[in-house]
Amino acid sequence: MSTASAAAAVTETAQPYVDPERRERRARKSRRNAIVATASTILFFVVVSVAVLNSPGWPSVQDAFFNPAYFWSSWPSILSALLVNIKMFLIAEVAILILGMALALIRLSKSPTLMPLRIVGTVYTDVFRGTPTLLVVLLLGFGIPALNLQGVPTDPLIWGTVALILSYTAYVAEVFRAGIASIHPSQRAAAQSLGLSTTQANRYVVLPQAVRRVIPPLLNDFVSLQKDTALVSVLGPIEALRAAQIIVYSKFNYTPYIVAAICFIALTIPLARFTDWLTARQEAQRSMGSR
């Protein structure tokens, strides 16, 4: 179609105008892409299944990990133990959010009186980000009850949760800190030029924007925390992984582990999808804002 008639087509209607030939070419291309994607996906799974199912050890693996009888019989005890994991991460997440924000603010503060706290905050972050979470769980879970301190609880579940909180607070504080640093200084200047104090500028202008910006990475850390509640199993309390382990040891069959894995996956998928959705929405808002 010539440029002149294309221009005429635009003026005739207020509808967006797309050259029909171009529209057809694009439709053909996207149909071809869909066919290629489907074919390569099917091929991939066929090849993998054939390779696994024909491997020499498959029959024994199938019996050890995918035994239907054990699969169905282990559900009730693992599911009820999963409630313990849920309780742990719900309590931990609230504590982590509060402590992480406090730590971020301390590390970003400039007040000379807070210097000792800043040093403690830096050391804390270095120590707990550097120590494997499993090690923190072991040290707190076995170490503190062994002190025989009066009034201090000895429940391993409590100390396991505290270990998770300490470990993840170090990560989450860094996420908050990055979020606060990403807000342009002109926002703070604008707030201060209106007479807001430093604290007010933080409270009403900087932090609300920073928190909104870090929600996706924050939720990502929480997805990771939800499955890390299984680390507390080393201390003995019967959560999902421990419950599976008990059946494994009594029946000499690994199928309960698969059941536990499915439970953890099911637990994290909603939060993971929610994170994706939120990220996509923020992206859409940003592109709309920069029209």
Partner 1 sequence: MVSDILRVDSVHKAFGDNAVLRGITMSMTKHEVVVLIGASGSGKSTLLKCINGLEPIDAGLIVVDDLEVSDDDADLDAVRQKVGLVFQSFNLFPHMTVLENVTLAPVKVAGLQKTQAQERARELLGRFGLGEKTNEYPDRLSGGQQQRVAIVRALAMQPDLMLFDEVTSALDPELVGEVLDVIRDLKDSGMTILMATHEMGFAREVSDRVCFLHQGQVLESGPPEQLFGDPQQPRTREFLARLLG
State in angstroms the smallest separation of the CB of 205 from partner 1: 6
Q: Alpha helix locations (H) across the chain?
A: 3-12, 20-53, 58-65, 68-108, 115-130, 133-146, 156-181, 185-193, 198-200, 207-228, 240-251, 255-289
State in angstroms the smallest separation of the CB of 285 from partner 1: 8
State in angstroms the smallest separation of the CB of 195 from partner 1: 4
State in angstroms the smallest separation of the CB of 276 from partner 1: 22
**Interface positions with partner 1 (CB under 8 A):** 186-187, 189-197, 200, 204-205, 208-209, 212, 288-291
Give the DSSP per-residue string, 173-191.
Answer: HHHHHHHHHTS-HHHHHHH
Q: At what angle do helices 207-228 and 68-108 cross, to 10 degrees?
A: 150
State in angstroms the smallest separation of the CB of 54 from partner 1: 58
- How many angstroms separate the Cα of 11 from the Cα of each of 15, 18, 123, 132? 9, 13, 67, 66
- Report the distance separating Cα 279 and Cα 274, nearest Å: 9
Q: Spell out a b/e string for 213-231, using b for 16 or more CB atoms within 10 Å of the CB, else e.
A: bbbbbbbbbbbebbbbbbb
If the CB atoms of residues 56 and 195 are measured against partner 1, the closer one turns out to be 195
If the CB atoms of residues 146 and 288 are measured against partner 1, the closer one turns out to be 288
If the CB atoms of residues 86 and 196 are measured against partner 1, the closer one turns out to be 196
Query: What is the chain's length?
Result: 291
If the CB atoms of residues 131 and 198 are measured against partner 1, the closer one turns out to be 198
If the CB atoms of residues 152 and 189 are measured against partner 1, the closer one turns out to be 189
If the CB atoms of residues 209 and 245 are measured against partner 1, the closer one turns out to be 209
State in angstroms the smallest separation of the CB of 181 from partner 1: 17
